[in-house]
Amino acid sequence: MEQTVEIFLNEIRIGAVTRLTGARFEFEYDKTYLADEANHPLSLSMPMTAAVHRDSRGESIVSNFMWGLLPDDREVLRRYAAHFDVPEADPLALLEAIGEDCPGAVSFGTSDLGRGLGPLDEAEMAEVVDGLRRGRTPEIFGRNPGYFSLAGAQPKTAFVYRDGQWYMPVGDEPSTHIVKPAMRDLDDQPLNEHFCLQLAREVGLAAPESWVERMGAEQAIVVERFDRMTDAGPETRRIHIEDMCQALGYAPSQKYEENGGPGIRAIGELLRDNATDPAADLEQFMRAVMFNVLVCGTDAHAKNYSIWHVTGPQLALAPLYDINSVYPYFLRRNDRKMAMAVRGKKVQHNIRPEHFVADGEALGLSPEQIRGWLGDMAERLPQQARWTRDEMPYESTVIDLIVDEIARCTTRLLGQLRGPAG
């Protein structure tokens, strides 16, 4: 059955997706949009040098991009599908139902929904977060017209936070903050993520603002959306982003390198060849890889790195997000495996300076640059981790353990850097 859904970026019609068969789709750019060289593509995997992009037997670029906008959790997708009476294996049908506020600036379907805000009190926020933990359908979809889709595996929802008040976005109103309840069976996980995001900012990496808030009986992390911008007035504007799986044409199921997804070299080459300032973005990316190794952020897969389509053809590496240290949870060193191998090494404890150097050289970076960035971060991180912990208004043995393990890891790497093999 043929189905066509219009696609918008910030309320500008850029094209439409059409179903070719049950599982194959076609995206066609709007001719007017295509004629303006100041516009940017829906995805780097669908460049504007071609008006039409189609799924084929060997390549599912369009469907992969759409799946990348949806939650990874199959149970959540099943509830979406049941709620809206659409097939759970159909990304276009799902996004037509809930794709009004997606990651980035993309929206599916009508653009004339209007905007509004529904105030939420503390009890209502607590009920929503509790519902997320328990998987209750109404809390996933909100209670007002206007639905959103958030990619990723962790349960989460999106709200507007303004002047100390929470609101449910209505219609086409962009959400501004993401709320995520604690992951099950991981002690103080919201504190862990908040600490890692704050620590990343303290060592010069771009990462969103966050805080931890108790909502009823649940502890949750609140993360400011970096794909939203609020100007001097109250109006919120969407900024288009895509994750590295989408940009490179991979399915979300391939987000881990071991599942056939992109690794350091593929992402680095994309930045080198497409970023407006490739030197700056390559440095930020390699520093981010180093940071994730040092804090043992083992879930730094391709969907946890994204690119900003800023204005027109300008493109930049987006801030880091979803960083959690596994130091407190995986006590055996051999269990601490990185989502992306560094020169073939996945076990965090086995990654040495020369492995960073080798991956950097493959991207045209000098050994001196890589060793300099690694040494700078390894020297600064332990003290900064202690300061960041001491400034937090919480006490947590989980954070204490992360701080101690960072000190051990950086001591090891600094010793290797200064030794003959460094």
What values do phi and psi take at 404, rounded to 5? -65, -40
DSSP per position, 330-361: --SGGG-EEEEEETTEEEGGG--HHHHHHHHH
What values do phi and psi take at 65, rounded to 5? -60, -45
Count other Cβ atoms within 10 Å, centred on residue 221.
24
Which H or E element spans position 5?
Answer: strand 4-9
Crossing angle (nearest 10°) for helices 353-362 and 397-418: 80
The CA radius of gyration of the chain, in Å to the nearest whole number, is 21
- Secondary structure (H, E, C), 187-222: CCHHHHHHHHHHHHHHCCCCCCCEEEEEECCEEEEE
DSSP 324: -
Reduced to 3 states (helix: H, G, I; strand: E, B; else coil), residue 236 is strand
C-alpha span between 350 and 190 (Å, rounded)? 28
What values do phi and psi take at 308, rounded to 5? -90, 130
Please report, as a single letter, which amino acid is at residue 158. A
Q: How far is CA 158 from CA 125, 141, 155, 421, in A?
A: 11, 10, 11, 48
- Residue whose C-alpha is closest to residue 363's, from 301, 286, 306, 290: 286
Active site residues: 299
Which H or E element spans position 180?
Answer: strand 177-181
C-alpha span between 296 and 401 (Å, rounded)? 12
DSSP 148: B
C-alpha span between 164 and 166 (Å, rounded)? 7
